[in-house]
Amino acid sequence: MKEPVHLEGALVRIERFEERDLSERYLGWLNDPETMRFSNQRFRDHDLASCRHYFDTFADSENDFLSVRRRGGGDAIGTMTVYHNQHHGTADVGIMIGDRSCWGRGFGQDAWDTVLSWLLGPRGTRKVTAGTVASNRGMVRLMERSGMTLEGVRRGQELIDGTPEDIVLYGKFAR
């Protein structure tokens, strides 16, 4: 059994993604082409069985699957993933604010900053990494605002609407 996660930002609350979060609402986010525009998840068909399978992969791993909720007991609005490498003291982080009515209102930034502070602080992670397609301006902005710096570019790595795009790789050290 993994230890609980309860993190509070200014706008969001972060907890472990639980079985009860495997909902039609969550499925709707994964099957929304606009939300998945920059994610390789767009190439997959998602149903509750495939979501459960993905959820189960976290149970016996060192990785964290997190739910992003509005502060004050609100609904889930997104998810985050943290892939730890204990040997190297690193963690690769991803985020999806699935509820599009929440976009551009600071929820993503708050969730990101809250999880990075936890990882690089009490969780004891040495270095946090993340990456995205360069044209995902919201994600790039969010990483840069959190103090991450550009570490590398994979030129023309992925096709977005048939056009080759760079993948930008960011990192931040605890100190």
Residues that bind ligand COA (CB under 6 A): 35, 38-39, 94-97, 102-109, 132, 136-139, 141-142
Residue 51, Ramachandran bin (φ over 0: left; ψ between -120 and 50: alpha; else beta)? alpha
Q: Whose CB is nearest to ligand COA?
A: 108
Nearer to ligand COA, 14 or 96 (CB): 96
How long, in residues, is the chain? Answer: 175
Nearer to ligand COA, 125 or 132 (CB): 132
Nearer to ligand COA, 109 or 125 (CB): 109
Q: How far is the CB of 122 from ligand COA (least distance, A)?
A: 23
Q: How far is the CB of 109 from ligand COA (least distance, A)?
A: 3
- Please tell me the number of Cα atoms within 13 Å of 71 on its side-chain side: 12
Q: How far is the CB of 91 from ligand COA (least distance, A)?
A: 15
Nearer to ligand COA, 10 or 59 (CB): 10
Residues 6+ apart with CB under 8 A from 149: 170, 171, 172
d(CA 130, CA 151): 10
Nearest to 133 by CA among 109, 157, 114: 157
